[in-house]
């Protein structure tokens, strides 16, 4: 005669061990939480800059207008460049901006050049 245990084993109704599933799901949840936190913290610390325009003052300077977007209350520094018609750097300047009072602020700076520039732009910005 067939016992209940034999029938359970034959038809796959045995007690499965749940520990590997619990550990796997826990590891997956922790990985998702860490990835989410890293994404959020990077976006909170990110700084973006947009060039608004430039004016070639003379052959020895160019004025660059730009805006910076980042979290409020952070000290920011930006590298501003002046380029010639062949995209060679003819002047650059690192400026330290005051703590940002709002999410987006506009700035203007004059970059000294060694030759006549045809454009001015922000190369990069970072938390100082």
pLDDT digits (tens, 9 = 90+) for 49-77: 999 999 999 989 999 999 998 766 778 89
Q: What average pLDDT does this structure show over 28-35?
A: 95
- The pTM of the full predicted model, rounded to 2 decimals, is 0.64
Where are the domains positioned within the chain?
4-45, 48-127
- Dist. CA 2–CA 76, nearest whole Å: 78
Instruction: State in words which class domain 48-127 has.
Output: mainly beta
Q: Each residue of 80-114: pLDDT tens digit?
A: 999 999 999 999 999 998 877 777 889 999 999 99
Distance CA 57, CA 21 (A): 69
| Chain mean position to CA 64 | 23
């Amino acid at each position: 005669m067939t016992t209940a245990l034999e029938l359970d084993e034959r038809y796959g109704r045995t007690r499965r061990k749940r520990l590997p599933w619990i550990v796997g799901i826990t590891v997956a949840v922790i990985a998702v939480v860490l990835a989410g936190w890293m994404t959020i913290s990077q976006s909170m610390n990110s700084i973006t800059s947009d060039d608004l325009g430039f004016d070639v003052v003379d052959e020895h300077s160019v004025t660059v207008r730009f805006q910076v977007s980042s979290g409020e209350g952070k000290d920011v520094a930006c590298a501003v460049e002046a380029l010639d018609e062949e995209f060679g750097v003819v002047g650059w300047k690192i400026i330290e901006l005051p703590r940002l009072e709002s999410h987006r602020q506009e700035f203007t700076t004059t970059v000294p050049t060694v030759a006549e520039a045809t454009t001015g732009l922000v190369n990069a910005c970072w938390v100082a």
